[in-house]
Structure 1
């Protein structure tokens, strides 16, 4: 009697547990949905405002959904601004900085992480300490140097001062330190040079870190407003973020609908790039084989 009763009791207990867990599961789902909607609300407002006519954008009380959908705002950003040129400048600026930063940061990080030389710890401390210096404090000296070189309103002036980054060096250095040194030693035993070890051993195993740093660098420079405003005075050399600041309507009123349309178009390349790189990032993490 007792033997047959125990499994029945366990089954009933499991059923009651699942029934008690269902309300909590729905509560967690509802909370997650509310938080997600709250975080996405600014994006939803940008998207919907981009499709509103000016009369609805300036109407009071404001409405969330447009009563009349229009594409005039998207046409206005290309008629009022050289928006195609600004997009190309943004790609050249952010992409150029990302490529150069990954090259120079990885070289410096490899030297600090895998090579033993006098003063390496002091150099690392100086690099980390430079992170505490506000960016605005170095803006004027950098501009004076760029101006003396004649690089104002050029891609060289936009890209060169950001070709290396202290955070990127420190970030990659910490990742390189975590890689087993047996990989380096095995390659050196086979006669590989330091450049071959760096290129064929360390970098292939550092793809996740390089992709992560590349995403951060590209997004930060794509969204940067102050740097392009300072180093470019020609409208044709501006970026998307600096170009949107030039949008003004009659009487100096900012056309919010046109501004939101421009912001939406500017965000789309970032979203597409992130979706593409995210898949590659997951694949690279799974293929490293390192713990």
Structure 2
């Protein structure tokens, strides 16, 4: 008599964890997801602590020197004075220092925009021997602190006769690894079909770069220009070492030398000068803030 074999019992499958539907997220009238109110409160508190030192700097620049140094400090000036600003604009050669800073920062920003964009385009869209090696060197340079190359850069600048000159402050910083990396990441987002179409029409690489690629890199160019302008505008150590005469001083160097003495520091003058130094950078950022945020978001720097 044949024996019937029972079918094997399938192994028990572990229970699956299905996604729990918490319901639709709250949305505003225009259809966007509504941000929690507590998040606005946290950001407001953070903004307060960020802005507070700048507000105190502006207010204290209108205080007399004795009130700036008073303990406990006063928030609102008991005696409002503009003597710090009058000293800054009358006794110091302010137009010369401001012009030097503007020339150096503007030239450095323009040079980075042009040269870093060119190298970023080459690393992103062109094929040439050693391309990966060059990009690896760029990334490696990002990891080298600036103080390591400071002395060799100073010796090289002095040997070619650029000491105590504006070109000596500009030339070493006309291109930087951060700018090359930023522009390469952005140029990678440009479709290859646009470049191929320009080549089919007979355009050379320089024509393609200036007529096709660079106009499409507006957000990245604005980001790079503002960041390099800000860095060069606030640069203190390199202009201090290179410039040996007063007519070549930049604003940070002049403020430090004239407000910080051997016996005492003129904090009122220093605060007034800091306000003047911050205003151009703040104005540039406010004008280009939308393109800067777009460039940071699209290049992956965040």
CA distance in 1, matches of 2:248, 2:172: 17
CA contact (8 A) 1:80 1:247 kept: no
CA distance in 1, matches of 2:89, 2:174: 31
Partner of 2:75: 64
Partner of 1:5: none
Q: C-alpha displacement at 1:66, in angstroms?
A: 0.3
Partner of 1:109: 120
Q: Is 1:137 the counterpart of 2:148 in the alignment?
A: yes
Which structure would you say has the larger RCO, counting Cα contacts within 8 Å and 6 or more residues apart? 1
Q: Is 1:157 the counterpart of 2:163 in the alignment?
A: no
Query: Is there any run of 5+ residues in structure 1 with no aligned partner, and where?
Result: 1-13, 15-23, 286-291
TM-score between both structures, scaled by the size of structure 1: 0.85
CA 1:111–1:280 in structure 2 vs 1: closer, same or farther (change >3 Å)? closer
Larger CA Rg, structure 1 vs 2: 2
Partner of 1:48: 59
Q: C-alpha displacement at 1:192, in angstroms?
A: 1.5
RMSD across aligned C-alpha pairs, in angstroms? 2.2
1:88-107 equivalences in 2 (<5 Å): 88-107=99-118
Q: C-alpha displacement at 1:87, in angstroms?
A: 0.8
User: Which sits farther off after the overlay, 191-200 or 88-97?
Assistant: 191-200
Q: Which has the higher helix share?
A: 1
Q: C-alpha displacement at 1:255, in angstroms?
A: 0.9
Q: C-alpha displacement at 1:31, in angstroms?
A: 3.4
CA contact (8 A) 2:259 2:269 kept: no
Q: Is 1:252 the counterpart of 2:258 in the alignment?
A: no
Paired residues in the alignment total: 263
CA distance in 2, matches of 1:85, 1:74: 16
Partner of 2:23: none
Q: C-alpha displacement at 1:284, in angstroms?
A: 9.6
Q: C-alpha displacement at 1:156, in angstroms?
A: 1.0
